[in-house]
Amino acid sequence: MLEVKQLKVNYGAITALHDVSLRVEKGAIVTLIGGNGAGKTTTLRAISGMLKPKSGQILYEGRDITGVPAHKLVGQGIAHSPEGRMVFANLTVRENLQMGAYLQRDKAVIAREEEFVFATFPRLKEREQQLAGTLSGGEQQMLAIGRALMSQPKCLLLDEPSLGIAPLLVKLIFEKIVELNRTRGLTILLVEQNANLALEISSYGYVLETGRVLLADDAAKLRADPKVRDAYLGG
């Protein structure tokens, strides 16, 4: 479904990604792990069109989408739930969700998707008219995922869903991610600091270090790999 070939991305004079290649099969959950500055977020941003790659190629469903701006990719089924949640703090929960369906003109579809998001995260339904900035971290993360779902994506890029969230809610959110993958057949590319948790729900994983792919293997094998255990899974 998604294939990245020899991706190189620069921030000004600094090269953030040297050479990243990866594949995400349809219906899979694939995870990118690695330390700070490894290039995980940069990879997601390049895929979703928020950054222009220096070189390399990104294929989505066989089409070349390298350098296509973000606002054109959303319509093609790629949704990005950015790091740090980034909900629209001064809009209500409901308005945030509607922003997610920005490209959708059909009101019935919007209503249906809203129903689905509220069914997935009942907490959001309770907070429907509340300003998003007043939600807890976990609730904002639910909202960010819900908002991304509103565009009816085929492929969801999920950046650090566990960042700064109470452990209980992390568990809930990861359960929902798995549920979305199983019931909707949603393909997910997950970036996560909590490598253990991420590999647990993924089928395949990539370990990034300083802008390069260090290791790529089945998630179960990565979890068993002593090098990965030492460096990323806390021994």
Interface residues toward another protein, by CB under 8 A = 48, 50, 69-75, 79-82, 86-92, 94-95, 98-100, 102-103, 129, 131, 144, 147-148, 151
Least distance in Å: CB of 205 to another protein? 24
Least distance in Å: CB of 1 to another protein? 19
Stated as kind and residue range, the H or E segment containing 150 is: none
Q: How many angstroms separate the CA atoms of 147 and 101, rounded?
A: 8
The length of the chain is: 235
The nearer residue to another protein, 90 or 136, going by C-beta atoms, is: 90
The first and second tokens of residue 81, run together, are: 């739930």
Contacting residues for 233 by C-beta, under 8 A, at least 6 apart: 195, 196, 199, 223
* Closest-CA residue to 201 (of 162, 150, 164, 145): 162
Least distance in Å: CB of 90 to another protein? 5
The nearer residue to another protein, 86 or 224, going by C-beta atoms, is: 86
The first and second tokens of residue 145, run together, are: 């995922």
The nearer residue to another protein, 55 or 90, going by C-beta atoms, is: 90
Stated as kind and residue range, the H or E segment containing 222 is: helix 219-224
Residue 26, judged by CB atoms within 10 A of its CB (0-12, 13-18, 19+), counts as exposed
Q: How many angstroms separate the CA atoms of 207 and 33, rounded?
A: 5
Least distance in Å: CB of 84 to another protein? 9
The nearer residue to another protein, 31 or 151, going by C-beta atoms, is: 151
The nearer residue to another protein, 132 or 169, going by C-beta atoms, is: 132
In our burial notation (b when 16+ CB lie closer than 10 A, e otherwise), range 193-214 reads: ebbebbbebbbbbbbbbebebe
The nearer residue to another protein, 42 or 207, going by C-beta atoms, is: 42
Least distance in Å: CB of 201 to another protein? 22
Least distance in Å: CB of 45 to another protein? 9
Backbone angles phi, psi at 127, to 5 degrees: -100, 15
